[in-house]
Every structure is written in structure tokens, then in C-alpha cells.
Amino acid sequence: MSDTSFQPFLGDQLRTEDNFQLWPDRDEKQLHVSAETIDEYARGMAEGQQLASAAFAEERIRLQKLLASAEALQPVDTDTIRNLLYETIERLVSQIVGQTPTDSEWLMRQIEQAVRAAAQIDSARTIWLHPDDLELLTGFELGIALKTDPMLVPGSLRLETDSGWIEHGRMILLDAMRSELGGGGGK
């Protein structure tokens, strides 16, 4: 049941556009089709293939965009997001805190807050400041002893009482923020 007489419909005629013939073993008179009609058919076929190719390319681009959008909807690792947010916030706040100069009014407000807090607990004895901050307070009467500690960050203070001490300042607040954000350790 094998038929060995099969011949492709267009045969080798698709290889060159110049001598394209729809039925190569027949001449134009037998087919009753003019060469112009055959040329128009070939041109139409080529245009159709170009249009199909362009449509396929456009569809492929739209599919790639759709896949990229779907990928963006995939769940992300919350630890990675938390660490990224932590690093960003810490960097920004550290830059802001580092660029903000300590002024005497701000330092006075910090001392007053610390003294009020300590008054509720115990009688305050000494406030420790960075040496640069002590210079800002010359001329102010606080009614409490002021001493310097070069280990303190400018803008920070330590209020010592009989029962302990209270630390306050920008770096303490920054440490508290770090603690609240999870310390960047991926908790």
C-alpha cells in the first residue's frame, strides 16, 4: 500500500522567486493561468508570510511582557525586604542625624526631659555630656552638676542617679530605631 509516486505540490519551485511555477510539469496553456496571476499569487503569499511573521513577533513581545508582569506578582522573601528597608532607613536616618548640628536649645530640651524623668525616680546627681556639648551650655543655670565624657556622642547625655542612669540623645534614639526594625539581622 505504499505509493512511491508522491511529488510535492510545489516541488523545487519555491527555491527561486524568478521562475516560480505553481505546477512545474505543466505549462501556462494547460493551466489556463497567466504568469501575472502566478506572480501576484507569489507576492500575496510573501506578503502574507511577512504579516504573519510580524503578528507573531508582536504577540511574542506581549507574551514576554505578560510573563514579566506575572513574575513581579510572585511572593518575595520577607526577610530580604525587611533587611533592605532596615538598611535604607538606617542609612537615611544616620545621614540626617550625622548632618544635624547640636544646638544649645535642643540640648537644653533633652536635659530637661531627662531631669523630669529622673525626678520621678530618684534625685538626679550628675549629667554627663560630650565635651563639645558642655561648651554649648555655658551661661545656663541648670541646678545640677555637669561633667564631660568624651566617649559620649555629641548630642547625647547620661543622667546618673543614686539608683542608676538614663541615657538620652540622637544615637540612643537611632539605636532604639534599629532595635524596633529588627537590627537588620533578619529576625
Q: Any idea what the CATH number is for the domain that residue 153 is in?
A: 3.30.2320.30
148 occurs within a structural domain? yes
Clarify whether residues 176 and 102 are in a common domain.
Answer: yes
130 occurs within a structural domain? yes
pTM for the model: 0.38
Clarify whether residues 93 and 57 are in a common domain.
Answer: no
pLDDT band at 186; cut points 50, 70, 90: very low
Residue 146 CB contacts under 8 Å (≥ 6 apart), including other chains: 126, 127, 129, 134, 137
CA distances in angstroms from 185 to 14, 77, 78, 86, 174, listed in the order given: 67, 14, 12, 9, 16
User: How much is the mean pLDDT over the chain?
Assistant: 73
Residue 185: predicted pLDDT: 47
Clarify whether residues 63 and 22 are in a common domain.
Answer: yes
Lowest average pLDDT, out of 14-28, 43-57, 145-159, goes to 14-28
- What is the residue range of 45's domain? 13-68
Residue 119: predicted pLDDT: 62
187 occurs within a structural domain? no
| β-pair type (164-168, 157-161) | antiparallel
Clarify whether residues 174 and 82 are in a common domain.
Answer: yes
Residue whose grid cell is 533587611: 83
Q: Are 107 and 133 in contact (CB under 8 A)?
A: yes
pLDDT in tens, 1-38: 556 666 655 555 555 555 665 566 665 555 555 667 77
Total number of domains constituting the chain: 2
Clarify whether residues 111 and 166 are in a common domain.
Answer: yes
Clarify whether residues 59 and 135 are in a common domain.
Answer: no
Clarify whether residues 54 and 112 are in a common domain.
Answer: no
Q: Where are the beta strands (DSSP E) in 87-185?
A: 124-129, 145-148, 157-161, 164-168
2 occurs within a structural domain? no
61 occurs within a structural domain? yes
